[in-house]
Amino acid sequence: MTTEELKVRTLEGFERMFNEGDLGYVDGALASGAIDHQEPEGTDFAAHLKNVISTLRSAFPDLRFDVHQLICEDDTVACRSTMTGTHQGPLRIGPMAGLPVNGTRIEVPHMHFFRYDADGHLTDLWHVWNTLALARQLGAPAPDLSIGAPG
């Protein structure tokens, strides 16, 4: 696939999976043995991705990813996006699990690297999102990030 086709494929993935909640799209988008490099080795990427989408869309029914920039080189697409939504359901993720639903509108920056095979199936994902910003926007207690005094 050309770099332009990979960019289109990436945007379509955001739209179908996250913005529309089309979990059926996941199975056709991933290559066999695809890896989410943020998860432990052996994680079933398709099952994990469906769970993430369902969890986020349950907590934020108006969930949306807006992609601001796409850069593609060879078989890899890098992008910067913002996740938005309104907290209308329980969020079962890390330090945000158990926070009361409060109707807060969130905006959370993300960065992604997607690697594709020759047929345009996703083989690898590297992803970073600002979970501290999300926790703060939802009212979670701020963690102590101070560095101790020199010893």
Q: What is the predicted pLDDT for the residue at 60? A: 97
Q: Indicate the residue type of 27.
A: D
Please determine, for residue 23, whether its predicted confidence score (pLDDT) is greater than 90. Answer: yes
Q: Which CATH class is domain 3-82+109-127?
A: alpha beta
Model-level pTM?
0.90
| Average pLDDT of the segment spanning 31-41 | 95
| Average pLDDT of the segment spanning 42-66 | 96
Non-local (6+) Cβ contacts of 57 within 8 A are: 18, 21, 63
| Average pLDDT of the segment spanning 25-47 | 95
Please determine, for residue 151, whether its predicted confidence score (pLDDT) is greater than 60. Answer: no
Average pLDDT, the chain: 93
| Average pLDDT of the segment spanning 97-107 | 93
Sign of the alpha-carbon dihedral angle for 121, 110, 130, 17 = negative
Q: What is the predicted pLDDT for the residue at 43? A: 94
Contact 107, 115 (CB under 8 A): no
Q: What is the predicted pLDDT for the residue at 94? A: 76
Q: What is the predicted pLDDT for the residue at 140? A: 85
* Pairwise CA distance, residues 109 & 51, whole Å: 20
